[in-house]
Structure 1
């Protein structure tokens, strides 16, 4: 797990873990007690959502409860690399507060498109398939994959090809890109053990229900920190269409809101240039290696080759 963090996110007043969970139970993917849907879709060319967010003073962030990308910490506060970066960027855009809307990962794009929140702030990979449904800012990080395995890595699993060759029991989270990567390597999709998150994946490896859990290098590094039974392997690149591939994560917006996405990108690039992005992401386990010059256009076209 990531350590407790000092952070400066300004959320809606009174938001606690209990109220968030109560909201999820009461309102499904809306997830926050008293959180209503965005009133109307933008009708102006390029969208007017940024103007409406400035007037409201708050932006709703769709998060998926995944450490270190976007989650509610043990004190009931919103944190993670994406919410922290979103807070910094939206302040520069004139929106002072962020409000979390927790949902499961698979509901992020449907929830965004149905206006249940304004922006996906969950470290979502930019993929050609997702680019058909939403528009992305440029990536704020790039990342390789890694495995959670038992101490000593007894099966010698270092990439997806090893998993297939050694007939290892493979586990990852629902909706993860790692599903496609291991299937491309030759693994049978129906044999994959799907779990809700990386903690459940760690538990599956520790309990012997799986030989390996696949996730991002940052995720696996964080989740094994306090484990006595498991470790994370060295980061590696998945093979896509015969070439090593690296992923990039970014904020997602509705396709009509190009004005907001473009304004967001301007501030994102300013923070990259100043080194502020690395400063914000470093407490969550990101390093200079994860900083990126990749663009959403490249990744939407299937780029990201190492």
Structure 2
């Protein structure tokens, strides 16, 4: 989730905020046969880590469709009841790709940990999942500028009986914490000295674990947590807070990821994204507002700054 860079504790929203939303993807991921998208019109595939201009955008324009990788995580990106991609990132993608001359957007749902491997294997053309931008991921993929900046929160039992506000509280009180697979919150917890974090598939599993008393809290982004607990009488969401790593704020800013070989594609996308951010983010907020994002989540931070 990339953008605003405001220290939510009161500093200006445009000040720099840090790096991560979910931990860097690790481990090999088995994928099906790579799709043909991205291969057509390419005379060669660049070596690992090599950045070239790329001709994928022209190919996608000619065929009129683009495949986006999503991780089935509301409200960032998921498949709706109608079978279409929805959420903050797919909604932005649909607008921008249309302006780039690509009318059809096809979702490819995968596990979050399979997004970068799937992109590199050409299973889809772009990651559209609100992925946190950080230096380690920037070594593997090329990011557009972030479209949001996010604080953390916890799912806790109704009324927050343990008074949990931060990771330090979890550590100090010896409580049991869970988070989602490949979430950056796992790293935040470990930085606070919490060595044993139960890793669950997603926030829905986290809600159940808290409600059943298997853990005392589930860590996620403030918008993921808020979405999960909506309408639940069993659990609550804590107030959003700024996570810290190594004594410094760890800012979660998310954006779209592209293969390193497709700089032209990324640049064209980024140009349209910056247009959406113009005039105090008015157009962008119209797109992402229905998914719970507000002006406080906007940012003018760049991918270059986040990649370090």
Q: What's the TM-score, normalizing by structure 1? A: 0.85
Contact 1:138 1:294 in 2 (8 A): yes
1:182 is aligned, of 189, 199, 203, to 189
Alignment pair present for 1:245 and 2:250: yes
1:228–1:88 CA distance, 2 compared to 1 (3 A): same
Q: Within 5 Å, which residues of 2 pair with 1:123-202?
A: 123-188=130-195, 191-202=196-207
Three-state SS of the structure 1 residue aligned to 2:98 is helix
CA distance in 1, matches of 2:126, 2:233: 37
Which residues of structure 1 form unaligned runs of 5+? 1-27, 302-306
Three-state SS of the structure 2 residue aligned to 1:129 is helix
More moved, 273-282 vs 254-263: 273-282
CA distance in 1, matches of 2:241, 2:189: 13
Alignment pair present for 1:230 and 2:235: yes
Q: CA deviation at 1:76?
A: 2.9
Q: CA deviation at 1:298?
A: 1.2
CA distance in 2, matches of 1:127, 1:154: 34
The aligned residue for residue 283 of structure 2 is 276
Q: CA deviation at 1:249?
A: 0.4
Q: CA deviation at 1:74?
A: 3.0
CA-to-aligned-CA distance 1:123-143 (integer Å, 9 cap, x gap): 000011111100100000011
Q: Which protein is richer in helix relative to its size?
A: 1
Contact 1:29 1:103 in 2 (8 A): no
CA distance in 1, matches of 2:246, 2:54: 36
CA distance in 1, matches of 2:200, 2:83: 23
Contact 1:172 1:214 in 2 (8 A): yes
Q: What's the TM-score, normalizing by structure 2? A: 0.84
Q: CA deviation at 1:176?
A: 0.5
Alignment pair present for 1:203 and 2:208: yes
CA distance in 2, matches of 1:79, 1:299: 26
Which residues of structure 2 form unaligned runs of 5+? 1-29, 45-51
Three-state SS of the structure 2 residue aligned to 1:231 is strand
Alignment pair present for 1:91 and 2:85: no
Q: Within 5 Å, which residues of 2 pair with 1:44-123?
A: 45-123=52-130
CA distance in 1, matches of 2:36, 2:207: 35
CA distance in 2, matches of 1:105, 1:132: 18
CA distance in 2, matches of 1:138, 1:263: 12
CA distance in 2, matches of 1:166, 1:272: 42
Contact 2:35 2:122 in 1 (8 A): no
CA distance in 2, matches of 1:95, 1:244: 38
Alignment pair present for 1:296 and 2:303: yes
CA RMSD in angstroms, aligned pairs only: 1.6
CA distance in 1, matches of 2:138, 2:35: 26
